[in-house]
Amino acid sequence: MRNLFLAFLLLFSLKTSAQNKQVKAACIGFYNVENLYDTVDDSLTIDEEFLPTGKKNYTLDIYHDKLDHLADVISRLGKDLTPDGVAILGMSEIENRKVIEDLIVRPKLADKSWGIIHYDSPDARGVDVAMIYQTKYFTPLFSKPIRMNQKDNKGRERKTRDILYVKGLLDGDTIHVMVNHWPSRRGGAAATEPYRNDCARVCKEVSDSLMAKNPDAKIFIMGDLNDDPNSPSLKDVLMAKEKKEETFSGQLYNPMYKFFKAGIGTLAYDDSWNLFDTIVLSYGTIRENAAGYRYYKARVFNEPFMQQHSGAFKNYPLRTFVGDTYMSGYSDHFPVYVFLVKDIK
């Protein structure tokens, strides 16, 4: 109760460094929820291992346990500044709309009214991106999937996730969100780099088009990008800047860069950390005198309860499965989020 009271005070009396003003805070996040499958066989996708009869013995008990664990994490996101937590959450590795419907009615999330935006993508494993939002804070105006028509070096079609584009009102502010899950590095980072660069190019074209119409457009490019902030896709194609003060009109800023340089990641592999989970912001979002909501700060949500505490994977994200062994964990990725603030009149 005391923590909730403190968060409530922060909501209305958070002080900016430049001005002694009361502000209201909002939270926007992203979470790769690691293979959120149901237990029903989909004949159109490769989901056999996530079935009760599959090699992972993926039963209803395991499915419900995973839903409860994810709901626990999501219910905590943003609570350090906002009593209601995250207002908008992009997600990846979602099998279908039904698993999201099952997620938002779990006890830790059921006290909020949630909306869902989801489209089936052509991904061979059947995993999609999606967005959930608290209807109290966000009103969608338009959404669509952006199909990635990619081919490999032999001219064969590569089935990958769509980019989800959403336009809506966040507490009255028009914002644009792109939820991504770019192609993995399977087959080698260099060999698969062109596919991620292609996704970055599409996001850049959309954001450039929006900012050409409105230089102060508030854009959030989020997702599991399977690339770090210094990778060519983000640095050279998306051209997301490392420093806020060096980001100008028509440009994009990556607030996760500072975490990456400090050795903080969202997933770990082979004793090294990567920061693949990112929220990139447009100039209109970070401009100090922006009308309405403006960027305040970012966070990697890597609380101890979500971490492995012993063994070879100590401090790694406590994931759902290691191989075919159920770990009763959360995800192999940590979520990320940004806080926005606006002056209270």
Q: What is the pLDDT of residues 182-204, one digit of tens each?
A: 999 999 999 999 999 999 999 99
Q: Kindly give, in sequence order, each residue whose CB lies less than 8 Å from that of residue 62, ignoring residues fewer than 6 positions away.
A: 326
Query: In this model, does residue 297 exceed pLDDT 70?
Result: yes
CA atoms within 13 A on the CB side of 313: 15
Task: Give residue 20's pLDDT.
Answer: 62
Q: Which domains does the chain have, with CATH numbers?
A: 2-8+25-343 (3.60.10.10)
Tokens, residue 58: 């993926």
Min mean pLDDT across 1-5, 82-86, 194-198, 264-268 is at 1-5
Evaluate whether 193 touches 211 at the Cβ level (below 8 Å). Answer: no
Q: Are strands 321-322 and 294-300 parallel, antiparallel or unpaired?
A: unpaired
% pLDDT > 90, the chain: 84
Q: What is the pLDDT of residues 10-63, one digit of tens each?
A: 444 454 444 567 889 999 999 999 999 999 999 888 999 999 999 999 999 999
Q: State the DSSP H helix or E strand holding residue 269, giving kind and residue range, or none if neither.
A: strand 267-269
Task: Give residue 1's pLDDT.
Answer: 42
Query: In this model, does residue 110 exceed pLDDT 70?
Result: yes
User: Looking at residues 201-219, what average pLDDT do you find?
Assistant: 98
Task: Give residue 19's pLDDT.
Answer: 52
User: Looking at residues 275-288, what average pLDDT do you find?
Assistant: 97
Q: Supply angle C-alpha 228, 321, 222, rounded to 5.
A: 30
